Amino acid sequence: MTSITGREVANRLLLLTVSTVFALGCAEAIFRWHTERTFAARLPPWSENLMVVRGPQVFAFRPHAAGQFPGNADQSRLFPYRINAHGLRDRDRPAKKPGSTRVLVIGDSYTWGYAVAEEEAFPQVAERLLRDRGHGEIEVINGGVPDYNSRQERQLLEQLLPIYQPDAVFLAYVVNDAEPPTAMPVPPEEAYRHSRSWFLTEAADHLNRRVFRRRLLPTTKVNVASSYLEGFETESVKWKDSREAIRQMRDLSGAAGASFRVMMMPDFTQEFDDRYAFRAIHDAVTTWGGELNIPTDDLLDHFRGEDHQQLWVPWDGHPNAEAHRRIAEFLVTRILEQFGG
């Protein structure tokens, strides 16, 4: 019987290694090609008022778009919206006047005013309250976009700062702001942004979801979680990305000469008492504020003990006009502390 020499063993191992690397390389190339090819084919049919933006922003409203959105719980209930020249649910504004003060509110559907009229959204209400109280020189701009997360909000803020030249920026943080967007397909370079190999990451993610039914294999693919709390688990990349985006928003605002503050919004589908499920997210964001030297207000404390069912849209789940008015009152207090004279 012929024995195998050490050189032959080494050659076989080398051949196996080269073959494996080549096969994985081919699988990676094919998977990336297929993923890119099918990305555009998955756009939803109602996306005619949205533009695909490659990279972290994912999508934006088309300038001067108008339409109707359905409620989340009852999609037969529709509400209208219109968009300005810069993709915001806000009036078109002239160049900033000397002596005026501008406050830009960045956020998601809570800020945008999902399921309420444009004039009922809390940035618009805050501007109206300020005008009624003799502070017509202070403008409040609605920079919210439904379904945006922290990374998208950071991208939008960078675009809006030179356009509106705000003196203050408020970020309205919501408990799902670490999650990927769901309104439009996420570009693959964003979904696999923490992965060296898209193919191996997808394989691990598929096995976890379909075979093991739990997170057994490590994977860094950014998926929509079954619970927002998953994004704040210690090993999750989601909360780390969200925190970093907030840090960058602070720095972008500071470089533009604007102050930066965070308002942590409660989930209005939850009871505002000890049964509230997302207290850990509020605590995390408040902790970030201390670590990053960012003033942070937790509005859960502002609403604690109240009947949440009196403050939400029952056919949707978002805050109703009364909740927006209450948030606007809080925002006005913070604005006047800084600019009231």
**Structural domain containing residue 313:** 44-186+222-339
Report residue 262 as tokens.
């965070």
The pLDDT tens digits for 205-242 are 778 878 877 777 777 778 877 789 999 999 899 999 99
The answer to whether 102 touches 167, Cβ cutoff 8 Å, is yes
| Amino acid residing at 273 | D
Q: Considering only 208-212, 307-311, 333-337, which range has the smallest mean pLDDT?
A: 208-212
Better-predicted residue by pLDDT, 31 or 80: 80
Q: Which helix (H) or strand (E) holds 66?
A: strand 66-70
Q: Is the pLDDT of residue 46 over 60?
A: no
Better-predicted residue by pLDDT, 197 or 120: 120
Q: How far is CA 133 from CA 126, 128, 289, 336, 337, in A?
A: 11, 9, 30, 10, 14
290 SS3 class: helix
Q: What percent of the chain has pLDDT over 90?
A: 68
| Amino acid residing at 95 | A
Q: Is the pLDDT of residue 42 over 70?
A: no
Residue 205 falls inside a structural domain: no
Nearest to 115 by CA among 322, 335, 300, 331: 322
Q: Is the pLDDT of residue 9 over 60?
A: yes
Measured CA to CA, the distance from residue 215 to residue 236 in angstroms comes to 12
Q: In this structure, what CATH number is given to the domain that contains residue 291?
A: 3.40.50.1110
Residue 290 falls inside a structural domain: yes
Q: What is the mean pLDDT of the chain?
A: 91
| pLDDT mean over 132-136 | 95
Total domains, the chain: 1
Residue 109 falls inside a structural domain: yes
Residue 157 falls inside a structural domain: yes
Residue 55 falls inside a structural domain: yes
Nearest to 295 by CA among 265, 263, 326: 263
Residue 21 falls inside a structural domain: no
How many CB atoms sit inside 10 A of residue 275's CB? 8
Nearest to 105 by CA among 152, 148, 149, 143: 143
* Length of the chain measured in residues: 341
